[in-house]
Amino acid sequence: MNPIAVRRRLLAEFTGTALLVTAVVGSGIMATTLSPDDVGLQLLQNSIATAFALGTLILTFGPVSGAHFNPVVSAADWFLGRRTGSGLSGTDLAAYTLAQTLGAIAGSVLANLMFDLAPVTFSDRDRSAGHLWLGEVVATAGLVLLIFALARSGRAAVAPAAVGAYIGAAYWFTSSTSFANPAVTVGRAFTDTFAGIAPASVPGFVIAQFAGLLIGAGLLLALYPGAGRSADHVVVEARTRPSSEGSTP
C-alpha cells in the first residue's frame, strides 16, 4: 500500500489530471491557431505536446500518487491487487476517480481561460460511431497492458517515457485519437475546441474504455499471472526514503 497520506495523493491526482487536460486542450487550441488549414499538422502538434506533457507529469507526481491520472488505470490497480492485498483499496479507488474527474474538468476550464475563451463551452464535436469505440477499446487495452507489464517486469522507472510514447503514437494509429481515459473524456466535453467531445458522445467512449480495461486486464493475467503483486508500483513506484532529519514521506 502507498504510505503517503491520502490527501496528498488526491491532490497529486487532481493536479496532474488537470494539467494533462490543460496540455491536451491547450495544445489543440494553439494548433488550430497556428495551422488553421492543416488538420494533419494540428493533430501532430497536439499529439507531441500531449506525449511530452504526460511523461513529465508522471515524473512529477508519480512518487506521490503513482500518477494514474486515469480511472481505468486506478480500477485495474484495484482489481489486480485484490488477490495479493496490494494496490488501491475500494475507498481509494472511488476517491482517485473523483479527484481525476474533477481535475480533468478543471483542466479544460483552465485551458479555455488561458486562450481567452469562456470558462465552459460544451463541445458539439460528435464522436459517436462504432469504429471510434473500437479505437478506444484498442487504445485502452494497450495502455493497461503496457503499464502493468512494466510494473510486473520491474521496469516502472521507464513508465514516463513509455506511456507518453504510447499515447502519442495511439493518437495516430487509433480511429478515436486515443482518449483512453474516462476522466479526460469527461473533461474534454467542457471545451468546444479541437480536442473536444460532445457530451452525448461521452458515454459511448467511457463504455468502450472500460471494455478495453477488461480486455487489457485479461491479456495481462494471461501473460503475467503474478501481475497483481506489482499493483503498488503503478504507474511509478512511490518509495519512502529514510532521512537523518526524521522527515516524513
Please give the share of the chain, as a percent, with pLDDT higher than 70: 94
Structure confidence by residue, pLDDT tens digits, 151-164? 888 898 999 999 99
pTM assigned to the model = 0.91
Residue ranges of domains in the chain: 6-233
**Domain 6-233 superfamily per CATH:** Glycerol uptake facilitator protein. (1.20.1080.10)
Contacts of 107 (CB under 8 A, 6+ apart): 17, 18, 19, 20, 21, 22, 24, 25, 187
Residue with cell 491557431: 33
At 248 the pLDDT is 35
Which triple of cell numbers denotes residue 52? Answer: 511530452
Which triple of cell numbers denotes residue 217? Answer: 486486464
Structure confidence by residue, pLDDT tens digits, 58-79? 999 999 999 999 999 999 999 9
Q: What is the mean pLDDT of residues 210-222?
A: 96
Q: How far is CA 35 from the centre of its chain?
A: 27
